[in-house]
């Protein structure tokens, strides 16, 4: 059983999240609150596995709340649902103590998948959020001071694939643009990740944070 807590400043939205999660047999919603003081008390529950925070801004107060919650109960993994999908907001959240991030367009399936992923000890970012970070990663690598650290390890064709990847092209669209097969595109992506010593898009996100490649 996965024990979940929910915080949302807007009661109706929080109740909606709770209703979705309570439909999953493996999930046990311990609390759902819109009150910060109650949240700080409830979050100390030793049985809490996942804390879902639905936030509507990235003010200093909100970012501090995420940090405080991570300190109060380090065992509870934080999943942030952001109702502001701007790149600046998403990047701020990614760089906070949150272990998972969902945008407002996230589906019910992604919400459930995120909770299972976090419970299994892994971080979770939707593909659209990973794409934002990839775009920043590519832009940063292409600056003169960083060029030798990243792009120089890639072949000319791999750089072409990476740039199109960063523009949200699908594998088929990349294949059509470069006149290669989809299988070849997949191979290039795998080689890119290997050369950058990364195993997944999530690792790319974490690598970018660690090396200050993503900016706000």
Tens-digit pLDDT profile for residues 67-93: 899 889 999 999 999 888 787 788 788
216 versus 188: the higher-pLDDT residue is 188
C-alpha triplet 17, 124, 167: angle, nearest 5°: 110
The two three-digit tokens of residue 21, written as one number: 């999660």
Report how far residue 55's alpha carbon sits from residue 47's, in angstroms, rounded to the nearest whole number.
23
H or E segment to which residue 27 belongs: strand 27-33
Query: Strand 77-82 and strand 100-103: pairing?
Result: parallel
Residue range 100-126, pLDDT digits in tens: 999 888 899 999 999 999 999 988 988
**Confidence band (pLDDT; 50, 70, 90) for 158?**
confident
Assess whether pLDDT exceeds 50 at residue 187.
yes
CATH 3.40.50.2300 fits 2-125, yes or no: yes
> Looking at residues 167-188, what average pLDDT do you find?
88
- The pLDDT value recorded for residue 141 is 63
CA atoms lying within 13 Å on the CB side of residue 208: 28
What value does the mean pLDDT take over residues 121-143? Answer: 75
The mean of the pLDDT values for the chain is 83
Residue 155 has pLDDT above 50, yes or no: yes
At 149, the pLDDT band (50, 70, 90 cuts) reads: low
| Calpha distance 39→62 (Å, rounded) | 13
Q: Tell me the pLDDT band of 22, cut-offs 50, 70 and 90.
A: very high
Q: Which residue has the higher pLDDT, 150 or 173?
A: 173
**pTM listed for this prediction:** 0.70
Share of the chain above pLDDT 70, in %: 83
The ranges assigned to domains in the chain are 2-125, 130-210
In this predicted structure, what is the pLDDT of residue 216?
A: 47
Which run of H or of E encompasses 8?
strand 2-8
Question: Is residue 35 pLDDT above 50, yes or no?
Answer: yes
Given a cut of 50, whether residue 186 has pLDDT beyond it is yes
Q: Does domain 130-210 have CATH number 1.10.10.10?
A: yes
Q: What is the DSSP string of the chain?
A: -EEEEEEESSHHHHHHHHHHHTTSTTEEEEEEES-HHHHHHHTT-TT--EEEEEES---HHHHHHHHHHHHH-TTSEEEEEES---HHHHHHHHTTT-SEEEETT--HHHHHHHHHHHHTT--EE-HHHHHHHHHHHHHHHTSTTTGGGTGGGS-HHHHHHHHHHHTT--HHHHHHHHT--HHHHHHHHHHHHHHTT--SHHHHHHHHHHTT-S--
Q: Kindly indicate the confidence band of residue 184, based on its pLDDT and cuts at 50, 70 and 90.
A: very high
């Amino acid at each position: 059983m996965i024990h979940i807590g929910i915080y949302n400043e807007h009661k109706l939205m929080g109740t909606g999240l709770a209703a979705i999660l309570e439909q999953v047999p493996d999930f046990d919603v311990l609390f759902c609150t819109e009150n910060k003081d109650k949240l700080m008390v409830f979050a100390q529950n030793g049985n809490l596995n996942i804390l879902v925070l639905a936030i509507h801004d990235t003010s200093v107060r909100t970012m501090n709340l995420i940090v405080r919650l991570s300190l109060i109960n380090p065992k509870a993994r934080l999943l942030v649902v952001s109702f502001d999908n701007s790149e600046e907001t998403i990047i701020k959240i990614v760089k906070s103590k949150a272990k998972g991030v969902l945008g407002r367009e996230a589906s019910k399936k992604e919400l459930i998948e995120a909770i299972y992923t976090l419970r299994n000890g892994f971080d979770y970012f939707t593909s659209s959020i990973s794409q934002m970070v990839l775009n920043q990663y590519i832009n940063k690598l292409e600056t003169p001071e960083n060029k030798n650290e990243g792009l120089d390890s890639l072949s000319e064709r791999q750089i072409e694939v990476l740039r199109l990847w960063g523009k949200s092209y699908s594998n088929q669209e990349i294949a059509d643009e470069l006149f290669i097969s989809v299988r070849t595109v997949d191979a290039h992506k795998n080689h890119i990740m290997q050369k950058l010593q990364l195993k997944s898009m999530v690792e790319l996100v974490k690598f970018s944070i660690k090396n200050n490649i993503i900016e706000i």
